[in-house]
Structure 1
Amino acid sequence: MEFAIDFRPFRLEDARFVNDLRRLESMESLLGGNKRPVSYERDAKWVQDLMLGDSPNAIYFAITAKGEDEIVGYASISEINYQNGTCFWSGVKLDSQKAGRGWGTQVGLKIVKFAFEELRMERCKGEVLEEHDGAMRMMIKIGFKVEGLMRSAVFKSGKHHNQFLLSMVRADYERVKEDLDL
């Protein structure tokens, strides 16, 4: 499979993009995390901390179109546990022009390829709000399996939301790798 996207490290100037994405109510409402207003300066510090922090249990990727340099989204792997070989695909945020056009699927495939081939993980989990049909379809499409529904797992927008727990283990990844020629 030929990817139409690349991952690159964050740059300080990416903070403007991150802050602009954070202001999109349509995006924030579908993500598992809590929403809060964040200043550009706070996001600039966050990006700088990512660039200089070298966290042993989280990796963030700026997403670009293949051969391009401009950020169009970002994704992360967190809760990296090398002893148990487990991690959490913490999600993806994409420019609204890219969402729903296969970009999320490519990001997901590239994330699991990195998790299983570079980090040598045995299991990668993900979580999706029950009402986020697009994310659920994409995760199943790339090989994640539903483990269950976590009831009232996330409080946002004044109410509790259910959240699906999904995972992919190495055997699932090997099948996807062969099927899609990753």
Structure 2
Amino acid sequence: MRQHLRRRKGRNMSIYGRKVRLRALEPDDIPHLHRWANDPAIWRLLGGWQFPSSEMSTRTWLDGLATDRQNQRFGIERIEDGLLLGTANLVSIDWKNGTAFHGMMLGASEIRGKGYGLDAVMAVMRYAFDELRLERLDGDIIEYNDASHRLYVGKCGWREEGRQRGWHFREGRRWDKILVGVTRQDYADLIAESDYWAGG
């Protein structure tokens, strides 16, 4: 077991970054998940469409994760105090071809811009490429989400690989879906250049 995968005392294994750990979502998280699922400001930045959801539907969704091995979803927890910051995922895992789709949601607006999102993406990539031995990750970004584009393409080594023009309808107009991806080699090059994990 590599150093960045550790068991938390009394709880399941966690995936560690420098500032955050990724861990299984728990029933205690339901109030946060339910609140974020109904926050229009959060869903404006994400690619999917969301309807108002009940706490019961959040609980049903969470219960369904226990046996789903093709779709892994994690809570992003701040190491220093255990605060749940959001969620990250590796979904549609294709073990034959070594690919998966990745997405992330930071729920607490006051923690954005402080490096937690960067650390979460780096931890997801290290886990995906070093532990699961995947070859590439895919994602997409809605055209106006400049912060996500700066994070993934500007800081985390992902590349813009195409656009689906006018894919999203938001706020009375059409927006492109930006397709992004990162390979195992892209990640290796990023680590060699940035030495991100030095000492951690």
TM-score after normalising by structure 1: 0.91
Residue identity over aligned pairs, in percent, reads 25
Give the drift of 1:37: 0.6
CA offset at residue 156 of structure 1? Answer: 4.5
Question: 1:8 deviation in Å?
Answer: 1.4
Question: How large is the RMSD of aligned CA atoms in angstroms?
Answer: 1.8
The one-letter amino acid of 1:46's match is W
Say if 1:121 and 1:170, in contact at 8 Å, map to a contact too. yes
The match for 1:14 is 29
The 2-side partners of 1:158 and 1:104 are apart by 29
Write out aligned runs for 1:33-112 (5 A): 33-50=48-65, 52-53=66-67, 55-112=68-125
The answer as to whether partners of 1:34 and 1:156 remain within 8 angstroms in 2 is no
Equivalent position to 2:178, from 164, 168, 171 = 164
Per the alignment, residue 44 of structure 2 pairs with 29
How far has the Cα of 1:154 moved from its partner? 2.9
Q: CA deviation at 1:158?
A: 5.3
CA distance in 2, matches of 1:159, 1:59: 33
CA drift at 1:149: 1.3
- Between 146-155 and 156-165, report the one with greater CA deviation: 156-165
Deviation at 1:159, TM superposition (A): 4.6
1:154 equivalent to 2:168? Answer yes
Secondary structure of 1:97's counterpart equals helix
- Cα distance in 1 for partners of 2:30, 2:187 equals 32
Q: Mark the runs of 5 or more structure 1 residues left unpaired by the alignment.
A: none
The CA deviation string for residues 72-104 of structure 1, in whole angstroms up to 9 with x for no partner, is 211101111010011111223331121222211
> Secondary structure of the equivalent of 2:180?
strand
Q: Is the 8 Å Cα contact of residues 32 and 128 (structure 1) preserved in structure 2? A: yes
Equivalent pairs, count: 180
Deviation at 1:46, TM superposition (A): 1.1
Q: Tell me, what secondary structure is at the counterpart of 1:80?
A: strand
1:33 partner SS: coil
TM-score normalised by length of structure 2: 0.83
Counterpart residue number, 1:126: 139
Whole-angstrom distance in 2 between the partners of 1:113 and 1:136? 20
Q: Per-residue deviation at 1:157? A: 5.0
Distance 1:71 1:106 in 2: 14
Superposed displacement of residue 69, structure 1: 3.0
Greater relative contact order structure (CA < 8 Å, 6+ sep): 1
1:5 is matched with: 20
Q: Deviations over 1:23-57 (max 9, x none)?
A: 2211111100102111111101111222x22x121
